[in-house]
Every structure is written in C-alpha cells, then in structure tokens.
Amino acid sequence: MGKGMLVVLLVAVSARAEAADVLCKKPNGVVVVRAACKKNQTQLNPAELGLQTQGPAAYDALGKKVGDVISVRTNLDFAQDIINTGVQECTVAFKLAASLFALRIRKDQLAGYTPLLFESEDCSGTPYIATQYLSAHLFPPVAIGPPGSTAYVPDTQSSPQAIMAKSAFGVHPDHPDLCINIQDASLEAIPALPITDLNTVFTPPFSVK
C-alpha cells in the first residue's frame, strides 16, 4: 500500500477514535480500528502519525460525555481539601444552547463559576447574575441552582438593574448547592434564565478518562 493511501485510511479511521481504542495495521498495510490489535497486527500511535488526539474528558455514570477537561483546581488549599474531604475538582468545557460554558465538576456534583443571586433571604424569587461576570470571564457566565442542578444564563433581552442581593447559590466554595445568606450587597445585575436541569441530562458519579 502506498504512503498516500495509508494517510487517507488513517484520517478516515481517526474519526472513530472516540468510539474505539486503538489503530491497528494489518500485515497487508490496511489500517483498522479495534478495541485491541490482534497478534499479527501492529498498533499505531496517532500522535506519531501527526493525527490529532483527544485529551481527558469528564463522563457521567452512564458513559455520557460532559465535556473536555480544560483545567484542574490549583489553588493553595487544594492539597488540604483532598486531605480533609477527599474532594477533587476540575473544569470542563460544556456546550449548552449552542454556546460553550465552563463548569466545575466533582465526583458527585456540577457547579458553575457564577453565583446565582436573590433579593430575598431564602433564595426565592427572581434569580440574577451580576453584570460584572458578563465580561470578567473568558467563558460566558453560567450559574447552577434549583430545581435540581438547573443551569442559568443571563437574560440578554433584559436590561441591567440595581438590586440588593441578600442570598445566593454558588457562594460556598465546597457546597455550591447551599443557599447562603450574604450581607446586603448593592450591585448591578441582570435576570437569569433557567435553561435545563443538568440532573436530567447527566447521572453522577462523574469520572475523568
């Protein structure tokens, strides 16, 4: 088989890389995708062939992909968190409503990087996202709150308004699902729209592979 034909075959089978394990070259030069190469076949390394390989990704308990891992928690308290609670956390790029968002993911939990604010003291009523998050992050802001683990995004059809925030979800670093009372904070915010309950999309526990 000519080198050109081999390259064509490699490009074709690389599209199936996510659903299979390895590329195998038969004695006659034909390249196939298998869970494991047979004894008379040679396993090929996609990276050495110049093919793009995928990095680690987060999956739920049913094998459904949540998103590609883009970072791990690196703050100074991380090592102590592992010692004290066994908690490990990473950030994944998650596609929602045709946009990419950054989600925090732990073994049994998904969380956002943006607090979900309320003018009430018990996290009831209209949810808000502070306008400071609209341009502060590389990814669009997404907050996680009830019911379940509902993803909220800014309502771009609404105008920013001054609010007095008294409670919020996503404030406690280790328990983002708790409603936390906060000292009256006067700030500019925009109403948040619920998109979908991620508990109906993904099934914990989560893993990275």
What is the Cα–Cα distance from 120 to 99, expressed in whole angstroms? 30
Report the amino acid identity of residue 69. V
What pLDDT is stored for residue 180 in this prediction?
A: 94
What is the Cα–Cα distance from 174 to 80, expressed in whole angstroms? 12
What pLDDT is stored for residue 54 in this prediction?
A: 67
Residues 6+ apart with CB under 8 A from 129: 114, 115, 116, 117, 141, 143, 152, 153, 154, 189, 190, 192
63-100 pLDDT, tens digit each: 999 998 888 765 444 444 444 555 578 889 888 777 88
**In the chain, where are the structural domains located?**
3-44, 57-208
Residues 6+ apart with CB under 8 A from 100: 93, 94, 139, 140
pTM, entire model: 0.68
Query: What is the maximal distance between C-alpha atoms in the chain?
Result: 73
φ, ψ of residue 34 to 5 degrees: the values are: -140, 165
Residues 6+ apart with CB under 8 A from 43: 22, 23, 24, 25, 37
| Average pLDDT for the chain | 80
Arithmetic mean of pLDDT, 40-60: 76
137-194 pLDDT, tens digit each: 678 889 999 999 999 999 989 999 999 999 999 988 778 889 999 987 899 999 999 9
Q: Are the C-beta atoms of 85 and 131 separated by less than 8 Å?
A: no
pLDDT at 130 over 80: yes
- How far is CA 98 from its chain centroid? 14
What pLDDT is stored for residue 95 in this prediction?
A: 84
What pLDDT is stored for residue 47 in this prediction?
A: 64
Arithmetic mean of pLDDT, 48-53: 60
Report the amino acid identity of residue 16. R
pLDDT at 200 over 90: yes
Arithmetic mean of pLDDT, 26-32: 76
**Of the candidate ranges 11-20, 69-78, 100-109, the one whose mean pLDDT is the lowest:** 11-20
Q: Give the rounded percent of residues in the chain with a pLDDT score beyond 70.
A: 78
